[in-house]
Amino acid sequence: MLKIRNLHATIENKEILRGINLDINHGEVHAIMGPNGSGKSTLSAVLAGREIYKVTKGEVLFDGKNLFDLSPEERAREGLFLAFQYPVEIPGVSIVNFLKTALEEKRKHLGLEPMSPSEFLKMMREKKELVEFDSKLENRAVNAGFSGGEKKKNEILQMAFLDPKLAILDETDSGLDIDALRIVANGVNKLKNENNSFVVITHYQRLLDYIVPDFVHVVFNGRIVKSGDKNLALELEEKGYDWIKKEVDELNN
């Protein structure tokens, strides 16, 4: 599904990613953890195609295609989805209108006819139920005046609609209370199947109680410095990141 090879990226000439290597197969959930400023969010932004980051070295294959040959919107239509850490407000554009526009772009890309209004409404009902989305929000403008939790639930609803091959959740748990966290995690678990993959970026073990990862990676200083199974997350929760930093320092000396 996704092969990241020796990925280096900079922002304003400052190197943030210094050689990321990662393989993600169909049906896997990968958690990416690490201290602030280690490069976790940069990785998600680079994969999604944010222009302020420059890729200086390395390659990424997404389902066999060179990811960097694709524009951000092409990556999205090909099935790469980023749940934003800070979802953006689009005043005056209702969630329904936004979902419909996004879905039609994807269908057009796949050579499908536009959905009929009744099909769309049916899909809307199903997806809302799946992710426990409050119907009262659907006619409101995208994220305008939403609480932190509502914004994140909106991200999950969009994910459910677009049915991505690879979904990256960038600190989706930040700013969520425990109920919202559970709803968001349940949504992810329901959408999970053997054909899609998830990358969950988080600071905390808490989210991983609900979304159980197959692999946990620790990013530090722009590299993956340690990988393991879900127990690694528990270990980090217990010991913090300092021991990882120490290990890395020792390796370097």
Partner 1 sequence: MDESKKIINQLQDKKYDAGFTTNIEQDIFPPGLNEDVIRKISEIKEEPEWFLEWRLKAFRFWQKQKMPNWAHLDFEPIDFQAISYYAAPKNTPKYNSLDEVDPELLDTYKRLGIPLEEQKILAGVAVDVVFDSTSVHTTFKKELEKLGIIFCSMSEAIKEHPELVKKYIGSVVPYSDNIISALNTAVFSDGSFVYIPKGVRSPVELSSYFRINAINTGQFERTLIIADEDSYVSYLEGCTAPQRDENQFHAAVVEIVALKNAEVKYSTVQNWYPGNKEGKGGIYNFVVKRGMCKGDYSKIFWTQVETGSAITWKYPSTLLMGDNSISEFYSVAVTNNMQQADTGSKMIHFGKNTRSRIVSKGISIGKSQNSYRGLVDIKKTAENSRNYTQCDSLLIGDKCGAHTFPYINVDNQTATVEHEATTTKIAEDQIFYCQQRGLDEEKAVALIVNGFAREVMAKLPMEFAAEAKKLLEITLEGSVG
Residue numbers of the site for partner 1 (CB under 8 A)?
A: 48-52, 71-73, 76-77, 81-82, 84, 87-93, 97-98, 101-102, 105-106, 109, 141, 158, 162
**Positive or negative CA dihedral for 45, 140, 98, 189?**
positive
Looking at beta carbons only, is 34 or 49 nearer to partner 1? Answer: 49
H or E element, residue 154: helix 148-162
- Length of the chain counted residue by residue: 253
Q: How far apart are CA 134 and CA 145, in angstroms?
A: 15
Residue 251 CB, shortest distance to partner 1, in Å, is 36
Taking the complex as a whole, the smallest distance from the CB of residue 189 to partner 1 amounts, in Å, to 22
Query: CB of 216: closest distance to partner 1 in angstroms?
Result: 25
Q: Where are the alpha helices (DSSP H) in 26-147?
A: 40-48, 72-78, 95-109, 117-130
By C-beta, is 47 or 211 nearer to partner 1? 47
Distance between CA atoms of 131 and 31, rounded to whole angstroms? 21
Distance, in Å, from the CA atom of 228 to the CA atom of 113, rounded to the nearest integer, reads 44
Closer Cβ to partner 1, 80 or 183, answer by number: 80
In whole angstroms, how close is the CB of 53 to partner 1 at the nearest point? 11
**Which C-beta is closer to partner 1: that of 76 or that of 156?**
76
